[in-house]
Structure 1
Amino acid sequence: MEGKKKDVTIYDLAHELNVSPSTVSRALNDHYSIGKKTKKAVKQLAEERGYRPNTIASSLRTNRSNTIGIMVSWINRPFISSLISGIEKAARESGHQVIISQSYDKPELEKDNLQALYDSRISALIVSLAMGTTDYQHFDLFTNNGIPVVFVDRIPSIHDVHKVHINNFNAAFEATEHLIDQGCTRIAHFGGARHQSIYEDRRSGYIAALKKNNVDVDESLIIQATSLNAEEGLRLTEQVLELENPPDGIFCANDTAAVSAIQYAKKMGIRIPEELAIIGFNNDPICEIIDPPLSSVDHPAVEMGEAAIKQALAMLEGEIATDSATRVTLDTQVVVRASSLRKG
């Protein structure tokens, strides 16, 4: 494995542009005394050369800190908080600290925050993509400079990356087949953005289970959401229950939307699970609090975090090449509770 590249300094940029180091510094800081043309040239070269401002202690000039960067969508989601817990615990045990950033499911914010993590001289990066991310070029800044990147849960739809995930197709197949086994014949699916492989796989697993069991695939019952938050869960449940032939089962791609489905159905006087069986995904703590308790697919967040940090540390130690591709797939299972249990 090749060693990390030497840090690019403002002196290197100044020499290449044939200007003074102070001009480079002022241009990078948008000083009023520097013209727009010069600022553009300096910033463009800085990006091309992978320049990182030395924003932390000079002891980090060794090119390797003891800090792992974490980029996730929403810190307040139970799955994500458990994922972070697994990463942080394993990182601490190995003598590393973590810096956590969230994208709020916005690709542009993800990109900006990744730049901040890079400028903080992190030694490795663990990422769960924003819902809307379809372009992965902003990760080149890390991989081109030898910084390990591990994707977890929401992973890119490309093959040459390091990733930790579950078999979302199989998990969705089993969840859907559970509803079929309980007597459901019209099963709705609330999914996430299909360009995210986890939601595409869950949709595919759902459809495969229907076809295997000779249940009609009704496109009016398959809805791809934009965020799968509580409000969207309520809206989608209202939408499918107002159909001329409403569903008798719902498989949600997360527990947040599934809980909203229970709440809306109960408000409308629909009996769960007798008239509408519901199952979610993630096995969040709220599954045991909502009435009736929500069936769900267990999503081993802590273990996924531990596996991700293990991959990152292996790259830092030279045991795995950063420019290779590795995959860790963890097991999962359907956790049956009262929201879907029609048969004893």
Structure 2
Amino acid sequence: MIKRWFTILVLVLLIIFLLPYSLPFVLALVTAILLENSVKWFMTRFKWPRFRAVLVTFILYVLFILLFVWFVVQLFVSQVVSLAQKAPAFANNFYEQSLKQFIRDSEQYFKSLPIDVFESFEQTLEDTLQSATQMLQGLVEWLFGLAAAIPGFLIEFLVYLIAVFLFSLELSRLRIKAERHLREATKEKIYLVTSQLNRAGVGFIKAQIFLSVATFVMAFVGLLILQVPYAALLSIVIVFVDILPILGTGSVLVPWAVFSFFQDNQFLGVGLIILFIVITVVRRTLEPKVYSSNMGISPLAALVSLFVGFKILGFIGFFVGPALVIVYDTLREAGIIKSKWKI
């Protein structure tokens, strides 16, 4: 008994140690499991052998990735190039019409302040400029690092795609080999848990795509109404920032609104604040319902698991929180966890 538990502990520690180095293969295995329903559909619908079904599913998956990347890159690059061409004129216009006037007004105001207050403000301004310079330098270094990491990423991505195809081919055999080491009761419980998690994983991806598309549409329509240039590019940035941990649409729209008020553009400032409120309210209203309908848990459980998971684990908590609720419900239904207790 002790020997068996020691062997299990060693295997778990070995998996934890190797996991960072095996990430492309782990993602490939998860992807192959998610694509398995499509493979089975082709095999059942057209009576195809597994190899042909896997090949068609894999080609469709790669085409989807390429079309999505092509659409985003084309839209992003075209708008970035256009913005870069107009950036010098925009900066000059901003300096002449906004910044110089702000400096003149500030000089008149600070003349009436005590010298200590003025020196304190001057020091704060210098520190802010220095921080902005360091931030810009860091951004440039990050961009160079990102460019240097692209070849390595492409190699890992290629390995990931090859592994997805091979895992899809071998998935049925891997399952048969794993079943040899399982009792019948254990096998049924594992199938129940994995099927529920598979459904939840696909549902989470669907929910995230739906919420991202909804955010993009709201941002794009709102920016068009406000007559903001590069609305599509800015909408993509808003969606991307909204997905990132801690950050949200407010980290883009609120500072932008404040800046607009400084430029005496109250229409744009108020519009951006309203857009931020609309996107936030709609997303927070839709999130529990969308996640619950796609992942098979109640709206309340979805809301609580998303919030608590994010507070404890950050961005990963968005995945772990609902996954734990689903695993608990599945184990309870399988009879592994018994909750028939009374106080």
**TM-score normalized by structure 2?**
0.22
Structure with higher helix content: 2
**TM-score normalized by structure 1?**
0.22
> Looking at CA atoms only, which structure, 1 or 2, has the larger radius of gyration?
2
Structure with higher strand content: 1
